[in-house]
Chains A and B, each alone.
Chain A
Amino acid sequence: MSVALVIVSHSAQLASGLAELAGQMAKDVTILPAGGTDDGRIGTSYDLVEAAVAQARAAGHDVAILSDLGSANMTIEAVLDDLSDADRDHVVFAEGPLVEGAVAAAVTSQIGGDLPAVTEAAKARELFA
């Protein structure tokens, strides 16, 4: 099972557009957008993030969650706090620049990287080298 990505953005369009972009080089990787609020406004939704994580876990994937801005980080951390013990070690918040990080993380997952490798890739360190 590859590592799945959950893309959390304040904008549903940004999240789904990035899922499409990152998927271009990672055809076998599950990339789930969780953008906007539950009623389609700008913002992030605990319920949408939790549902995407649950979907990926149900399919047997480890999950790296990526974020666009600080308040999205807080939503993600709230979801992580509420994970069951069974899921806790299989779901991480992968910090990094969102677009480059998502592409790097997706490619790393595609070539067989495990959760730590995907999380490291999401930092997109080469950008700042």
Chain B
Amino acid sequence: MSDTLDTAWALNWIRTAQEVISEHRMELIDLDREIGDGDHGENMYRGFTKTVEKLADGTDSIASALGTLGKTLLATVGGAAGPLYGTAFREAGKAVEGQETIDANGVVAIIQGALDGIVKRGKATTGEKTMVDAWTPALEAAKAAAAAGKSPAEAFKVAAEAAAAGAEETIPMLATKGRASYLGERSIGHKDPGATSTSYILAVAADTAEAAQ
């Protein structure tokens, strides 16, 4: 039993996320075909696969694992997800720089860093049918869990549930950011691919955090 998460957890998060993205690759491609350019599943799969290769020999901190993920996504993804997730994970890594292990406040710092990175890069706000609609409720849920003295696994669990609910809520939204916005009204009725992949990545963070405890 441990109430903190360490570097081994971060590596397991990234490795398992690669597997889960691989499983959901076609689903993400199909979602993105509906309102985008159809590359999201393939791009995320490539980016995470390349990251797992780079981290095969391990790394020395949570910050460097997340930093490597961000840098690799930025370099290899190609679509909008590259600069968005790339900046997100680089900022998430910076947010826990120097910490050997993290508690629930560290979970909040990671999610806050990721959201800040996405907002800085994409200049989106909530209600625009983007991944911001998943990360924002995730942050609120994690903050509440941390304030209530919960474990990091519990903080990730409620964050992942909030992100999944946030992703569902993008379905009736009108896209006003990114290439989906060119579709106008036609974007309504489809779930945002970026919000969906966010919910999977956070769900894996929760599962691997629980397994680490």
Asked if B84 and A43 sit within 8 Å, CB to CB, the answer is no
Size category of the A interface is 10 to 19
> Does B192 interact with chain A (Cβ within 8 Å)?
no
Assess A41 versus B78: contact at CB under 8 Å? Given A70-B179, A71-B178: yes
Q: Which residues of B are found within 8 Å of A46, using beta-carbon distances?
A: 74-75, 82-83, 86
Asked if A78 and B78 sit within 8 Å, CB to CB, the answer is no
Asked if B75 and A45 sit within 8 Å, CB to CB, the answer is yes
Q: Which residue among B37, B83, B179 has the maximum number of chain A CB atoms within 10 Å of its CB? A: B83
Among residues of A, the one whose C-beta sits closest to the C-beta of B86 is: A78
Number of A-B contacts defined by CB within 8 Å? 58
In the bound complex, CA of A46 to CA of B121 (Å): 13
Size category of the B interface is 20 to 34
B77, B87, B179: the one contacting A43 at CB < 8 Å is: B77
* Least Cβ–Cβ distance between A49 and chain B, in angstroms: 10
Give per-residue flags for B52-71: 1 if the beta carbon is below 8 A from chain A beta carbons, else 0: 00000000000000000000
Q: Which residues of B are found within 8 Å of A69, using beta-carbon distances?
A: 179
Q: Which residues of A are found within 8 Å of B74, using beta-carbon distances?
A: 46, 75, 78
Q: Which residues of B are found within 8 Å of A38, using beta-carbon distances?
A: 75-76
* Least Cβ–Cβ distance between A81 and chain B, in angstroms: 8
B37, B121, B178: the one contacting A78 at CB < 8 Å is: B121
A47-62 contacts to B (CB < 8 Å): 47
> Does B133 interact with chain A (Cβ within 8 Å)?
no
